[in-house]
């Protein structure tokens, strides 16, 4: 029997690579596409020997062509950390706008079901807490995060327009802070930042007074939620995240305990427009998909710490992405 084929953009990234693994396990033929600005082939190297895995080194902001049938498309290509989109703001805007247009066009031609990765950032610095899907958000379009937030908001609008006007089969997942193995140690996100600092013997940098909150979801739970959403028939946005909320100061203390570091917590200025609170309302995911997160922060952090510890020592000291110079001029 011919296998169903799925295209995963951002397939060499943190979430994209875990999705590649999942769909290989599900028995699909997986085509990963990535331009490798922030993604890394080491995340998918183990799949290259698999007969049902292909990799296209391509930037989805330019015309996308994939020969053959495509049952599903997952659009996960995008820088996704505040440091990344400060460094590559134009690419961030392009992948969320030109990129999604190309992929929606491809989905139309191939008659594919397309799921796009959106984000809790569409809620901006939220004035409603926790955040349900029908909250419209509080986003500053011209602030440092605007390039990401507005690209993702545009992406949702574009996807809904293709759904409404072209009858395209679409899904939208709003991803809240997710962590696990294969996060980039130098992507500036709080978890790799703290663990990297602990491993290098540096102090942990808490931005502001650390009273801002986040709710961290382990990657296996996130992938399960995305899988269930793809297989559902629901075309409006669905939050996937773990509602277990914590302040960043408490989080730093947890990392100190986990790693046993003797370093201390130091304060750094709070970046502009840093959301003060974030917690997903997951009622919809529970009701529609029968999904709830299963992995506690203690379990998930332990697995993630073990992964970071196992990396070659030089990775600990890499300050930029491997391909930064090549792509960003």
Q: Name the β-bridge partners of 268.
A: 207
Residue 147 touching ligand UDP (CB under 6 A) = no
Residue 189 touching ligand UDP (CB under 6 A) = yes
Cβ atoms < 10 Å from Cβ of 220: 19
Among 135, 207, 236, 327, binds ligand UDP (CB under 6 A): 207
Stretch that binds ligand UDP, among 68-76, 187-195, 232-240, 281-289 (CB under 6 A): 187-195
What single DSSP character describes residue 121? G
| In the complex, least distance from residue 194 CB atom to ligand UDP, rounded to whole angstroms | 7
Looking at 148, 179, 305, 321, which residue is catalytic?
Answer: 148
Residue 248 touching ligand UDP (CB under 6 A) = yes
171 neighbors 239 (Cβ within 8 angstroms) = no
Contacts of 28 (CB under 8 A, 6+ apart): 3, 4, 5, 6, 52, 71, 72
What single DSSP character describes residue 50? S
Stretch that binds ligand UDP, among 1-9, 21-29, 166-174, 200-208 (CB under 6 A): 200-208
Cβ atoms < 10 Å from Cβ of 320: 10
Cβ nearer to ligand UDP, comparing 272 with 296? 272
Find the binding residues for ligand UDP in span 11-50 (CB under 6 A): none
Cβ nearer to ligand UDP, comparing 72 with 85? 85
Q: How far apart are CA 245 and CA 213, in angstroms?
A: 6
Contacts of 107 (CB under 8 A, 6+ apart): 70, 73, 113, 114, 162, 168, 169, 170
Cβ nearer to ligand UDP, comparing 161 with 266? 266
How many residues of this chain bind ligand UDP (CB under 6 A)?
15
The torsion angles phi and psi of 115, rounded to 5 degrees, stand at -115, 130
Residue 193 touching ligand UDP (CB under 6 A) = yes
Among 178, 212, 215, 259, binds ligand UDP (CB under 6 A): 212
Residue 256 touching ligand UDP (CB under 6 A) = no
Q: Where are the beta strands (DSSP E) in the chain?
A: 5-9, 29-34, 53-57, 72-75, 113-119, 170-175, 178-179, 204-207, 213-215, 217-218, 237-240, 245-247, 265-268
**85 in catalytic set:** no
Widest distance between CA atoms in the chain = 59
Residue 253 touching ligand UDP (CB under 6 A) = no
Cβ nearer to ligand UDP, comparing 276 with 326? 276
Among 115, 122, 190, 295, binds ligand UDP (CB under 6 A): 190
- Residues with a catalytic annotation lie at 148
Site residues (vs ligand UDP, CB under 6 A): 81-82, 177, 188-190, 193, 205-207, 212, 214, 248, 271, 274
């Amino acid at each position: 029997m011919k296998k169903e084929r799925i295209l995963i953009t951002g397939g060499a990234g943190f979430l994209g690579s875990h999705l590649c693994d999942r769909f290989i396990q599900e028995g699909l033929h997986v085509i990963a596409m990535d331009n490798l600005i922030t993604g890394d082939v080491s995340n998918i190297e183990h799949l290259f020997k698999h007969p049902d895995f292909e990799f296209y080194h391509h930037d989805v902001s330019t015309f996308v062509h994939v020969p053959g049938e495509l049952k599903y498309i997952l659009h996960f290509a995008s820088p996704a950390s505040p440091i990344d989109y400060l460094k590559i703001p134009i690419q961030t805007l392009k992948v969320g706008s030109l990129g999604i247009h190309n992929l929606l066009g491809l989905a139309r031609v191939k008659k594919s079901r397309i799921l796009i990765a959106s984000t809790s950032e569409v809620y901006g610095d939220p004035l409603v807490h926790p955040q349900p899907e029908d909250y419209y958000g509080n986003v500053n379009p011209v602030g440092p995060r605007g390039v990401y937030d507005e690209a993702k908001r545009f992406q949702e609008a574009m996807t809904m327009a293709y759904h409404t006007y072209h009858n395209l089969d679409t899904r939208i997942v709003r991803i809240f802070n997710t962590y696990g193995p294969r996060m980039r140690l130098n992507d500036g996100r709080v978890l790799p930042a703290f663990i990297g600092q602990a491993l290098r013997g540096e102090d942990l940098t808490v931005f502001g007074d650390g009273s801002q909150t986040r709710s961290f979801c382990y990657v296996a739970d996130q992938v399960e939620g995305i899988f269930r959403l793809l297989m559902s028939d629901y075309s409006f946005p669905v939050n996937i995240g773990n509602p277990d909320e914590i302040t960043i100061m408490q989080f730093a203390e947890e990392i100190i305990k986990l790693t046993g570091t003797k370093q201390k917590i130091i304060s750094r200025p709070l970046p502009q427009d840093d959301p003060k609170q974030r917690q997903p309302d997951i009622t919809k995911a529970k009701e529609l998909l029968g999904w709830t997160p299963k992995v506690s922060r203690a379990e998930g952090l332990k697995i993630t710490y073990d992964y970071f510890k196992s990396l070659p020592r030089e990775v600990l000291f890499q300050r930029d992405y491997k391909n930064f110079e090549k792509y960003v001029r």
